[in-house]
Structure 1
Amino acid sequence: MTETGAGGETKAAMRRALTLPADASQEEVNESAVVLMKKLRASSGAELTIANGLWVDVRATIAPEFARVCQEVYDAAVRAVDLNEPSAALAINQWVAEKTRGKIPHIVTPEATANLAAVITNAVYFKGKFCDPFKKEATQPKPFHLANGGEKLVPMMRQGDLQGAYRFGKRFEAAVLGYEGSAIELYMLLPTKGVGPEEILTEESLADLFVEQEPVELDLSMPRFTIDFTSQLKAPLTRMGMGIAFQYPGADFTPLGSPLFFIGEVIHKTRLEVDEEGTVAAAASAVMMALASARRGDSEKENPGV
């Protein structure tokens, strides 16, 4: 959604980072997003919700066309709020908590939203049952080998005679677990001894995941676990080539509403719960749109909102 509001080299850099076609029109990119969301939501057996939001400071001006695309293409809720007031952060957090079924209770603070021009939010919630659930009575405490060489005692689930679930690559083995009535799958990767997890997360390695191997019966042991992850994405997105979007001068978000806009930070949170029956997952992101000048211009004061 943020890419829709970018122009010039900023849009080009964002498309490279997001692996979007450089020569595609904005209409084509928007349509592909609609098709993808419809495809993901079509799963009858799993629960999947995808929500978008645009929170605009009452003193800022957002381009009407950008607001229209957010509403009509991305089904986003567009709201005018006073981002200098703690109530705005509270409203954003309540929205995220609602859309993620309480799995992510908050994503921003009043200090983080103060003096921003807008906040662009996304929230995803997924709940699915495994096609081949694990038997709870088979779960036993077992050692789990950590990336740093240590061990941790965890509740280890076990499932034997899995058909079509085994994958392998140059430096890993993997299991693919499907969900009832859904095209979504869970990929569990086991690096080869001496290989770190980050080393196998490459485009070349991951391509092997999607090649179905010769049919074998897989005897799978994997932990029952819950993971919470929080990150600020400015640094990794900059390493991916999107640094211009965080710079002023440099960033071009004129289609969003002002040549003074740039991204201050991107906050991301994820929660993943995997047990014998299936998976519950939630994720939320907040793109913090800042204004280059702390003092907003008179024209923006005269034309608040969207």
Structure 2
Amino acid sequence: MKKLIALISITILLISATGCGEKDDSSHAGETSNRDFQKNDYKKMISSNNELGFDLLATTEPDDNGNTFISPTSLLMALSMVYNGAVGETKEEIADVLQVEGIDVGKLNKANASLISIMNNDSDQVQLDIANSIWLNKRFQFQDDFAKNNKSYFNAEIQEINVDDRKSAEKINDWVRKATNYKIDKIADSPLDSDMVTMLINAIYFQGEWTNEFDEKETADRTFYLADGATKDAPLMKQKRELAYMENDNFQAVSLPYGEDGEMSMNIFLPKKNIDMIDFQEMLTNENWAEWKSEFQRKKGTIMLPKFQLEYEATLNEPLQRLGMTTAFDKDEARFERLIEEDAPLWISKVKQKTFIDVNETGTEAAGVTSIEIVTESSAIQPDDDSFYMEVNRPFFISITEEETDAILFMGTIFNP
């Protein structure tokens, strides 16, 4: 009998936006429906989330301009959901990559639910929501525990669809548009793959305005020094005020808050002229990150930051395999026996992430998409003592962080803004 290849496309979509547009509340499910978790359970995964980001940043290929921009939170939530269907060595390797060894699936689900409940929190200037949906080929059936865990802890809305109906793709894309405030127009192609089993989508919507906006009149083209010694003109925004700042022999760093209460922030790290970005990336560990964060102090000074926009795309199969997650990609070794009722071997064929960021005077728009496809075979100037001066005119590192949890939603190295 001719073998059929069925595709499970698990797509994790993480979107950030600022400044414009109205959110459609009907697309966001709000807080998780399962209450079997504690508020502080998220603490079990924050270190894992951030360390995953640093590990991935070090192993992911930059784009043609040398830039890398990833979302560790998107990948962690994607793999956490897949973790519910894994067993044996495959499960252990995913746990190793997520750095959640010793945390069983129940505790990891509760940690995700706790993080989701905290992030589903709005203010006048900052909005951060998480929504999940699962689109299931009506010819298949999830195992009860897999469906229950995703619905209870990730608050996923499960809908059955006819994959042979062209309207099914439009139905999925309509949900995506509403969930992302129309920032993402399409995630599913029409017609859908006739062998698709399920598409699982997670959307995080972030709308953030700077606590202190940059004055557009202060933005001016200045010289940006590229890593290869060449230069280019880049619009640098400018503001003078008291900010959270730190400096050591290796870099300057400043934290720019969003919203009235600074519940979100962008952290900018500018390596000193004698420290290249490769050397700085070797310093990026969760231990150093925690130490650096504790050393920020309020200080008056000047920050000049490029106004820029970029898109980034990477296939993460090889980076994840280098981090130790190998059997999940091997059709003979992978074990996802807790995913569907049907008796069929499953393995991951591709993990892909796409991201987008737009930094301007009013705030930040950022977006990240992580897709996991599973197939089955079946029959500057130095500051003085009183102030700092930080002109970001050479390659730099940024992160966007949720301050209450310290979860890094996005991070990247910008070589050519």
Residue type of the alignment partner of 2:356: R
Tell me whether 1:213 sits opposite 2:290 in the alignment: no
Partner of 1:275: 360
Structure 2 unaligned regions, length at least 5: 1-80, 380-417
Paired with 2:277 and 2:254, the residues of 1 have a C-alpha distance of 15
Q: Structure 1 residues 66, 47: CA separation in 2 closer, same or farther (over 3 Å shift)? A: same
Tell me whether 1:244 sits opposite 2:322 in the alignment: no
Tell me whether 1:147 sits opposite 2:232 in the alignment: no
Tell me whether 1:77 sits opposite 2:157 in the alignment: yes
More moved, 145-154 vs 125-134: 145-154
Paired with 2:141 and 2:194, the residues of 1 have a C-alpha distance of 16
Structure 1 residues 28-177: aligned runs within 5 Å: 28-45=107-124, 46-83=126-163, 87-109=167-189, 113=193, 115-164=195-244, 166-168=245-247, 171-177=250-256
C-alpha displacement at 1:163, in angstroms?
A: 2.5
Tell me whether 1:291 sits opposite 2:371 in the alignment: no
Answer yes or no: is the 8 Å Cα contact 1:123–1:283 preserved in 2: no
Structure 1 unaligned regions, length at least 5: 296-306
Deviation digits for residues 151-191 of structure 1 (CA, Å, limit 9, x no counterpart)? 23222100112332x13456332221111135221112222
Amino-acid identity (%): 27
Structure 1 residues 177-192: aligned runs within 5 Å: 177-180=256-259, 181-192=261-272
SS at match of 2:134: strand
C-alpha displacement at 1:58, in angstroms?
A: 3.0
Paired with 2:249 and 2:86, the residues of 1 have a C-alpha distance of 39
Residue type of the alignment partner of 1:254: E
Answer yes or no: is the 8 Å Cα contact 1:121–1:284 preserved in 2: no
Q: Structure 1 residues 48, 145: CA separation in 2 closer, same or farther (over 3 Å shift)? A: same
Paired with 1:129 and 1:81, the residues of 2 have a C-alpha distance of 38
Q: Structure 1 residues 111, 174: CA separation in 2 closer, same or farther (over 3 Å shift)? A: farther
Q: Structure 1 residues 58, 242: CA separation in 2 closer, same or farther (over 3 Å shift)? A: same
Partner of 1:15: 95
TM-score (ref. length: structure 2) = 0.63
Q: Structure 1 residues 182, 140: CA separation in 2 closer, same or farther (over 3 Å shift)? A: same
SS at match of 1:216: strand
Paired with 1:132 and 1:268, the residues of 2 have a C-alpha distance of 31
Answer yes or no: is the 8 Å Cα contact 1:113–1:288 preserved in 2: no
Answer yes or no: is the 8 Å Cα contact 2:84–2:146 preserved in 1: yes
Q: Structure 1 residues 147, 259: CA separation in 2 closer, same or farther (over 3 Å shift)? A: farther
Paired with 1:275 and 1:58, the residues of 2 have a C-alpha distance of 45
Paired with 1:140 and 1:264, the residues of 2 have a C-alpha distance of 46
C-alpha displacement at 1:49, in angstroms?
A: 1.9
Partner of 1:260: 345
TM-score (ref. length: structure 1) = 0.84
SS at match of 2:331: coil
Paired with 1:134 and 1:117, the residues of 2 have a C-alpha distance of 48
C-alpha displacement at 1:64, in angstroms?
A: 1.9
SS at match of 1:6: coil
Report the number of matched residues: 292
